[in-house]
Structure 1
C-alpha cells in the first residue's frame, strides 16, 4: 500500500503516467486535470489511492491530498467506479463540484461523460450530507510547488475569463513554462496583461 510516490515523470498519457521512483517505474492512473498540468521529465509528488480487487491492482495519483479525499467520496456514490470518478474530476475542480452539489445542479454535472442524469442526481444526493467535508476540501491547503502553480493557473484562467477572454485565447496568451515562472496570482495576471498591453 502506498501513501504517496515522489519521482520523475518518464512519460504521460491522458489516463496515466509512468513515474520513475529510484529506478523503479510505476504506472499511475491520473485525471485529465493532472495530465494537463504535469510535464514529462518533471519531479512530482503524487498522493496515491490504492485500488485493489481480485483481478486488478491500480495506483491512482493526485497532486493534492484533498483531491484524493474527494475521489474516495465519489467512489462511495452508488453506481460510480474508478473510471467515472476520474471522469468527474477531469471535468470539474473541487470547488466547482462542491458548488454543483450545494445548488442541486445536476444539469451541469451530467456534462461529465457517461455520468448521465440519474447518476448525477445520485451523486448530489449522496454528497449533499457531506457538504461540510466538501467545504473543508475547498479550503486551500496546497503546499507543494506543483499544487501552488495549479492554484495560480486556475485563478488566472478565471480572472482572464472575467475580462472576456476565451479558453482558446488564454492558451495562446501564455505558455506552461511562463505560467510556472510566476510566484503569485497577482504576478501572473500582471505578466499576461503586460503581454497584451492591457
Structure 2
C-alpha cells in the first residue's frame, strides 16, 4: 500500500501528475484542486495517495492533504460514486465545503459537481451524514462538538485516526481537543497520541 509519495514534480496533465521518486516516475490521478496546489514542475513535492486495485488495473490517486484523501474514501464508499466522480467533486469543493453541504443536507450544492445528478447528490449527503456528523467546520455544533481540525499536523493526525477506524467527526473532535491542549508547536506524533487517548474515552 503506497500512502504517500515524496519526490520531484516531473510533469502535470489535465487530470494527473507524474512524481519522480528516486528516478521512478509515479503517475498519480488527482483532482484539479490538488494539481493546482502541487507547485511548479521540477520542485520538491509531497502528495498523499490512495492505491486502487482491480482485476485488470492498478492506479494511484493523489491528494494535497490527508483530509482530501479521507473525503475521497468516504465518497467512493457511496454506491454510484467511482474514483472519477469523487475526483470531480473534490475538484469543485474544499473538504470544509463538502462537510458543510453534508451537515446541512445541501444536495443542490453537491449536484453542481461535474457528473453528479440530483439523485446521486441526494444519496451522497444522506449516506455521509452519519459518517461525518452534523458539525459545520469552524462553527461547532449545538452540542459543543469541536470544529473540524485544520491543515498541517491536524489534517495528518485526523487521517491517522480515521485510518484506525474512527469516524471523521470523532477524529476531528479528538484532534481539535488535542491540538488546543498541546499548542501550535506540538509534533505530529504527540498530537496523534493525545488525540487517540481522547477519542478512546
Length-normalised TM-score, structure 1? 0.68
Contact kept, 8 Å, 1:17 with 1:28, in 2: the verdict is yes
Contact kept, 8 Å, 2:37 with 2:64, in 1: the verdict is no
1:15-57 per-position Cα deviation (integer Å, ceiling 9, x unaligned): 1011100001110111000111222112111111000001111
Task: Tell me, in whole angstroms, the C-alpha distance in 2 between the residues paired with 1:93 and 1:141.
Answer: 12
Contact kept, 8 Å, 1:66 with 1:137, in 2: the verdict is no
Partner of 2:76: 75
Name structure 2 gaps, 5 residues minimum.
Answer: 138-145, 155-201
Q: 1:142 aligns with which of 152, 157, 160?
A: 152
Q: After TM superposition, give the deviation of residue 137 of structure 1 in Å.
A: 9.1
Partner of 1:114: 115
Name structure 1 gaps, 5 residues minimum.
Answer: 145-198
Task: Tell me, in whole angstroms, the C-alpha distance in 1 between the residues paired with 2:76 and 2:147.
Answer: 16
Cα 1:61/1:92, change in 2 over 3 Å: same
Q: Does 1:12 align with 2:28?
A: no
Could you list the structure 1 runs, at least 4 aligned residues long, displaced by more than 6 angstroms after superposition. Answer: none
Q: How does 1:1-198 map to 2 (within 5 A)?
A: 1-38=1-38, 39-132=40-133, 138-143=148-153
1:122-145 per-position Cα deviation (integer Å, ceiling 9, x unaligned): 00011010123976894114149x
Compare the two structures and name the one with the higher helix fraction.
Answer: 1
Partner of 1:178: none
